[in-house]
Amino acid sequence: MSEALTPERDARTQELKRRLDAVQLRIADATAAAGRTDDPPRLIVVSKFHPADDVRRLATLGVSDFGENRDQEASQKADVLSGLGIRWHFVGQLQSKKAKTVVRYAHAVHSVDRPQLVESLARAMAAEQERSGRDSLDCFIQVSLDDDPAAHRGGAAPADVPVLADQLEEAGGLRLAGVMAVAPLGADPDRAFAKLADISARLQASHPAAVAISAGMSQDLEAAIRFGATHLRIGSDILGSRPAVR
């Protein structure tokens, strides 16, 4: 890291530290209120649209998990920031044709929502294991919590979760981690995440190792923690508004 980006000299780092500290305090308070002090969720900072230097700054502040939702941007950041020990989480809708590049840098994909994507990831992982010898890719089944299918924010229908889970378990190189969801716009997050917790419990009945729940963003992380989130995806409250497109 250049001297200009050291925490002592860089104003942006200080801003990020203040924001990160505030979010971590919210997480700690919500975790304590939920009686989960021995089981805190993992913070994933969603860095989409923000520069690699911000990721580098946050890494100096102890953040190790970052989320991206566009393959080209994520791939470039992973290349520039290689060697920092970052775990990259792909959290956006993923085209099957992008699977072969995503598996080269991603620790986990949080948006598995259809059989064709499982097939593409499995093929891509087989090639990547032969190329680099990597172990496996964590996969979260994204579930739609919307009552109105026309308004959903992505994800498989709850009824389709068992089929996708079986497919992931049988696929070489893929590890079924659990479920992921986004609370519907305008919905009560407690109701949404209670529904997700129920889906997770039913999944674990047949797949005991699939214990992860990826849920909660800046506006609803407390509700997500109350209902068992193991991974939080926080962007704007740490990084601020996305930079203007030039």
Supply the pTM of this predicted model.
0.94
DSSP type of residue 171: S
Where residue 151 falls among pLDDT bands split at 50, 70, 90?
A: low
Q: What is the DSSP code string of 56-93?
A: HHHHHTT--EEEES-HHHHHHHHHHTTTS-PEEEE-S-
Q: Top-level CATH class of 3-239? A: alpha beta
* Domain positions in the chain: 3-239
Rg of the chain on CA atoms, in Å: 18
Q: What is the pLDDT of residue 220?
A: 98
User: Residue 87's beta-bridge partner residues?
Assistant: 65
pLDDT in tens, 163-180: 999 999 999 999 999 999
pLDDT in tens, 135-145: 999 999 999 99
CA 185 to chain centre: 19
C-alpha dihedral sign at 127, 128, 134, 139: negative
Distance of alpha carbon 183 from alpha carbon 152, whole angstroms:
10
